Amino acid sequence: MSDSRLMGLLTRPGPWTCAYVDGPGMLPQVEEEALRRSVRERLEEIGAPAEDASAIESALESRNGMPSPSARVVLASAGRVEFDQGFVGARTGPERLSYGPVPTILPLLRHLSAATRYIVVETSRDGADIRLETSGRRGSDAESEVEGGTGNLTKVQAGGMAHAAYHRYAENVWKHNQSEVAAAVSGLIREQHPTFVAISGDVRARQLLIESLTDAERELIVEVDVHTRADGADSTELDSAIAESIAERMRITVTEVRDRAATDNGSGGAEGIGEVTAALQQARVETLLLDSRMLDDGRTLLALDPAPWVAADESESLGAVVVDSIPAAEALARAAILTDARVLIDEDEPAEEDAPRESRPVRDPLAVLRWADEADAGDGN
Q: Give the tens place of pLDDT for each residue, 148-192.
A: 765 544 444 445 555 556 566 677 888 999 999 999 999 999 999
Phi-psi region of 3 (alpha: psi -120 to 50; beta: other; left: phi over 0): alpha
Domain covering 262-381 assigned CATH 3.30.1330 in the classification: yes
At residue 338, does pLDDT exceed 50? yes
> What global pTM score does this model have?
0.89
For residues 332 and 289, the answer to whether their CB atoms sit within 8 Å is: no
Q: Which of 221, 198, 225, 230 is nearest to 124 (CA)?
A: 230
Q: Compute, in degrees rounded to 10, the torsion defined by CA atoms 90, 92, 98, 103.
A: -110
Residue 19: name the closest of 99, 122, 101, 131 by CA.
Answer: 99
Domains 117-250 and 262-381 share a fold: no
Q: Which residues pair with 325 in a beta bridge?
A: 302
pLDDT of residue 376: 55
At 161 the pLDDT is 53
Task: For residue 67, name the pLDDT band (cuts at 50, 70, 90).
Answer: confident
The stretch 84-104 carries a mean pLDDT of 95
Flag the least confident range among 280-289, 295-304, 367-376: 367-376
Q: Give the pLDDT score at 154.
A: 45
User: Mean of the per-residue pLDDT values for the chain?
Assistant: 90
Biggest CA-to-CA distance, the chain? 91
Mean pLDDT across the stretch 68-74?
A: 95
pLDDT classification of 299: cutoffs 50, 70, 90 = very high
Q: What's the rounded Cα separation, in Å, for the pair 337 and 3?
A: 7
- The three-state DSSP-derived secondary structure of 342-359 is EEEEECCCCCCCCCCCCC
Residue 139 pLDDT more than 60?
yes
Counting residues of the chain whose pLDDT is more than 90, the rounded percentage is 76
248 CB-near residues (< 8 Å, 6+ apart) = none
Q: Which of 157-166, 349-358, 367-376 has the lowest mean pLDDT?
A: 157-166
At 232 the pLDDT is 76
CB atoms within 10 A of CB 31: 10
Domain boundaries, the chain: 1-104, 117-250, 262-381
Average pLDDT over residues 276-288: 98
pLDDT bracket for residue 64 (50, 70, 90) = confident
Q: For residues 332 and 105, what is the distance between their CA atoms, to the nearest angstrom?
A: 11
Q: How confident is the model at residue 380 (pLDDT cuts 50, 70, 90)?
A: very low
Q: Dump the DSSP string for 58-80.
A: HHHHS-TT--SSEEEEEEEETTE
Which CATH class for the 117-250 domain? Answer: alpha beta
Q: What is the mean pLDDT of residues 260-280?
A: 95
Average of per-residue pLDDT across 325-332: 98
249 falls in which pLDDT band (50, 70, 90)?
Answer: very high
Tell me what the mean pLDDT of segment 47-67 comes to: 93
State residue 155's pLDDT score. 44
What is the pLDDT at residue 4?
A: 79
Is pLDDT larger for residue 209 or for residue 229?
A: 209
In the prediction, which pLDDT does 1 show? Answer: 56
Residue 172 has what pLDDT? 84
Looking at residue 160, what is its pLDDT?
Answer: 53
Tell me the pLDDT band of 18, cut-offs 50, 70 and 90: very high
Beta pairing, strands 70-77 & 269-271: unpaired
- The average pLDDT across 34-58 equals 98
Closest to 92 (Cα-Cα) out of 354, 298, 345, 267:
345
Confidence of residue 16 (pLDDT cuts 50, 70, 90): very high
DSSP of 160-175, one letter per residue? HHHHHHHHHHHHHHHH
pLDDT, mean of residues 320-329: 97
Is the per-residue pLDDT at 44 higher than 60?
A: yes
pLDDT reported for residue 196: 98
Whether 368 and 271 have beta carbons less than 8 Å apart is answered as no
